[in-house]
């Protein structure tokens, strides 16, 4: 993948760098905030290095996949975006509240999502090590690794202060300093020695433990950025570089401890307990709904609206019940992609499905959804149905997660409670595995069009005079082929097929008589003496072999169903060529006639197609 070329292509399709308000990236997609969304061109999704394009949440989202960070770096370099770039203020206020909320949440949390997921996974692995007796919590090894896994969450206000300050258009180091004040040792000591009420300028202060908190610092950062902008308008340029931060720290930090912090903490607790009340009403129903709709939310980028709830649950309650419900939704799409991998005989789709299933195991489902399951619809539906069933089991088991991370195979380790394995963990494992197996089985059996499923090996040819269909597709009479040489019967009698898949397979027992150097056509000779020419497309000789791969050589013996040639159907069509494929009995003069066996408009590879009359 040429990242610089792709970056230029992306910039062109988002309306140029001057149309970009801000840019962040998450695990798989670039998230553009644009001045004018009408200038963005969704046709960017036709680029082979782009999985798809989504317009949602007020953002123009370009789904890249596992290479997103490298593409993000290239786009930032090409557009002149750097860490010091301040987001431009939007004009017009056309975005609705939901779009603005999702935009704020994604901009604040995405920059450190990878580190946050890694920290959660490390916590889960440490818990697994303790349960299995591999590590002792009193050992230095455990303490050092625990500090590595817990530091981000303990000092969450500092990290959120930085990203929130950038999002709200202020100095990120100033808002990070406010986050540092919330976790300062003097404040934590005051919590332990709070025998007497503390006062600030005579006003009573309620000290709260803000370590790992989320909402208080976000509100404080917004107030700080608002005040910073107004101070910069008032102070002369010679003074504002230090007077503006002085005023912000002197005003916002006390205001946070006196009003913002307690109010935001109360809101955090209400949000956590409100979610718990809904969850407690019917955990299995919550699991069913979330397992069914989570991937739909991911498609439109709406899943970010739920991320603060998960993190807030961990901060307030010490555990989260929402993330476990999502694991079956993820493994449902993994299972559907695996089902496509097992069912398809399209080599390109098989490779895509295999790599997408592998990425999905680690929590990255966009390649599976956009590239495999959603285009064929039924696999995606089967994945959602399996996710709903698995989610109901996880919800019924009331499984908890004890550290944040992407919903992936590692989440099972993060569900281990301090006391070790219990029924809730086994419930999560059962629901997750059931979702995977059910989606895979349904997709393998019913998920793909018949033309993309494995063709049943023909047991025998009806007779020595029969020719099986060498490919699946739409049948054309020879006089409908858009080429006078073929339609006029100058090369022999037969019929044509417009292929639906990318393969040519042997139509009888015999041998390869000839293979064109450009691999767009092949001559075959049956054991009974029938000479057949299979010509893939019209005028495709001009491609000079590009997009064609031969799996046989002249003189090779063949039997029905053997793979002869693979070709890139989409690329040939994109190059402007007609893919009508004549199947011609080139020694037709040796027979009384050549008849088409089937009268159906479509045919599958391996079905009876032509017969010669002696």
The predicted-structure confidence for 429-459, as pLDDT tens digits, reads as follows 999 999 999 999 999 988 876 555 554 444 4
Q: Is a pLDDT exceeding 50 seen at residue 112?
A: yes
What pLDDT score does 501 carry?
87
pLDDT band (50, 70, 90) for residue 497: very high
pLDDT band (50, 70, 90) for residue 419: low
Query: CA of 404: how far to CAs of 236, 312, 319, 413, 415, in Å?
Result: 45, 10, 9, 11, 10
Length of the chain: 614
Across the range 145-172, mean pLDDT stands at 89
What pLDDT score does 550 carry?
93
What pLDDT score does 549 carry?
93
Most confident of 91-95, 104-108, 118-122, 459-463: 118-122
Across the range 159-175, mean pLDDT stands at 90
Across the range 83-107, mean pLDDT stands at 60
Query: Would you tell me how many other CB atoms lie within 10 Å of the CB of residue 55?
Result: 15
Q: Is a pLDDT exceeding 80 seen at residue 99?
A: no
Contact 178, 161 (CB under 8 A): yes
Q: Is a pLDDT exceeding 50 seen at residue 460?
A: no
Across the range 577-592, mean pLDDT stands at 92
What is Dmax (Cα atoms) for the chain?
A: 111
The topology under which CATH files domain 3-84 is: Gyrase A; domain 2 (3.30.1360)
Q: Is a pLDDT exceeding 90 seen at residue 60?
A: no
Tokens of 448: 């793909």
Element of type H or E holding 123: helix 113-131
Interval 506-561: pLDDT, tens:
999 899 999 998 999 999 999 889 999 999 999 999 999 999 999 999 999 998 88
What strands, in cross-sheet order, belong to the sheet with 593-596?
466-468, 608-613, 593-596
Q: Which residues, in sequence order, are CB contacts of 576 under 8 Å at separation 6+?
A: none
Spacing of C-alpha 403 from chain mean position: 22
Report the C-alpha gap between 536 and 580 in whole angstroms. 7
Interval 8-50: pLDDT, tens:
889 988 888 888 888 877 767 888 888 888 888 888 887 878 8
Across the range 180-203, mean pLDDT stands at 76
Report the C-alpha gap between 278 and 272 in whole angstroms. 10
What pLDDT score does 94 carry?
47
What pLDDT score does 50 carry?
84
Catalytic residues: 26
Across the range 500-505, mean pLDDT stands at 91
Q: Tell me the pTM.
A: 0.58
Contact 27, 52 (CB under 8 A): no
Its CATH architecture, for the domain 466-613, is Distorted Sandwich (2.70)
Q: Is a pLDDT exceeding 80 seen at residue 339?
A: yes
What pLDDT score does 87 carry?
52
What pLDDT score does 328 carry?
93
When comparing pLDDT for 346 and 239, which is higher?
A: 239
In percent, how much of the chain has pLDDT > 70? Answer: 91
Spacing of C-alpha 117 from chain mean position: 16
Place of tokens 């002149």: 80
Report the C-alpha gap between 253 and 249 in whole angstroms. 6
Report the C-alpha gap between 402 and 423 in whole angstroms. 16
In percent, how much of the chain has pLDDT > 90? Answer: 31
Q: Where are the alpha helices (DSSP H) in 344-467?
A: 347-361, 366-368, 374-376, 378-397, 411-414, 423-446
Interval 239-271: pLDDT, tens:
888 889 999 999 999 998 888 888 888 888 888
Mean per-residue pLDDT over the chain, rounded = 84
Contact 212, 154 (CB under 8 A): yes
What pLDDT score does 512 carry?
95
Across the range 131-137, mean pLDDT stands at 84
């Amino acid at each position: 993948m040429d990242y610089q070329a792709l970056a230029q292509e992306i910039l062109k399709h988002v309306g140029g760098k001057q149309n970009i308000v801000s840019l962040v990236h998450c695990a798989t997609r670039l998230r553009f905030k644009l001045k004018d969304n009408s200038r963005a061109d969704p046709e960017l999704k036709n680029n082979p290095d782009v999985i798809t394009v989504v317009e949602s949440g007020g953002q123009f989202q370009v789904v890249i996949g596992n290479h997103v960070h490298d593409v993000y770096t290239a786009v930032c370099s090409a557009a002149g975006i750097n860490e010091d770039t301040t987001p431009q203020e939007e004009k017009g206020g056309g975005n609705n509240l939901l779009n603005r909320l999702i935009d704020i949440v994604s901009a604040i949390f995405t920059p450190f999502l990878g580190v946050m997921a890694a920290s959660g996974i490390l916590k889960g692995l440490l818990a697994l090590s303790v349960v299995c007796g591999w590590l002792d919590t009193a050992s230095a090894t455990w303490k050092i690794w625990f500090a590595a896994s817990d530091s981000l969450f303990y000092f969450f206000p500092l990290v959120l202060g930085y990203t929130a300050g950038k999002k709200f258009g202020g100095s990120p180091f100033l808002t990070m300093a406010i986050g540092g004040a919330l976790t300062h040792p003097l404040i934590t000591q005051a919590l332990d020695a709070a025998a007497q009420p503390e006062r600030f300028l005579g006003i009573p202060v309620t000290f709260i433990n803000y370590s790992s908190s989320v909402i208080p610092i976000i509100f404080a950062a917004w107030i700080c950025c608002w005040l910073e902008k107004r101070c910069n308008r008032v102070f002369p340029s010679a003074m504002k570089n230090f007077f503006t931060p002085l005023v912000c720290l002197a005003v916002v930090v006390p205001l946070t401890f006196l009003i913002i912090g307690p109010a935001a903490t109360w809101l955090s607790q209400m949000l956590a307990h409100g979610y718990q009340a809904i969850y407690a009403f019917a955990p299995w129903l919550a699991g069913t709904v979330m397992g069914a709709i989570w991937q739909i939310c991911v498609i439109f980028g709406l899943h970010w609206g739920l991320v603060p709830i998960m993190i807030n649950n961990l901060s307030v309650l010490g555990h989260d019940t929402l993330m476990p419900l999502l694991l079956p939704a993820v493994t449902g799409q993994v299972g559907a992609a695996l089902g496509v991998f097992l069912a398809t005989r399209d080599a390109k789709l098989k490779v895509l499905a295999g790599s997408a299933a592998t990425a999905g195991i680690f929590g990255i489902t966009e390649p599976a959804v956009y590239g495999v399951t959603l285009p064929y619809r039924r696999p995606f539906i089967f994945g959602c149905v399996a996710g709903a069933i698995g989610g109901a089991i996880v919800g019924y088991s009331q499984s908890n997660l004890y550290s944040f991370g992407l919903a992936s195979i590692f989440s099972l380790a993060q569900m281990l409670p301090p006391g070790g394995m219990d029924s809730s963990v086994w419930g999560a494992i059962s629901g997750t595995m059931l979702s995977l197996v059910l989606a895979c089985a349904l997709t393998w059996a019913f998920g793909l069009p018949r033309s993309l499923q494995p063709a049943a090996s023909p047991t025998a040819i009806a007779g020595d005079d029969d020719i099986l269909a060498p490919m699946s597709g739409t049948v054309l009479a020879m006089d409908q082929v858009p080429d006078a040489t073929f339609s006029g019967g100058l090369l022999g009698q037969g019929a044509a097929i417009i292929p639906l898949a990318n393969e040519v397979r042997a139509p009888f027992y015999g041998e390869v008589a000839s293979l064109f150097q450009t691999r767009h056509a092949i001559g075959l000779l049956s054991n009974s003496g029938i000479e057949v020419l299979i010509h893939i497309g019209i005028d495709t000789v001009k491609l000079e072999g590009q997009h064609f791969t031969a799996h046989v050589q002249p003189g090779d013996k063949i039997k029905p169903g053997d793979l002869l040639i693979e070709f890139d159907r989409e690329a040939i069509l994109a190059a402007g060529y007609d893919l009508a494929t004549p199947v011609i009995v080139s020694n037709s003069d040796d027979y009384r006639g050549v008849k088409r066996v089937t009268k159906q408009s479509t045919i599958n590879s391996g079905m009876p197609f032509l017969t010669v009359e002696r």
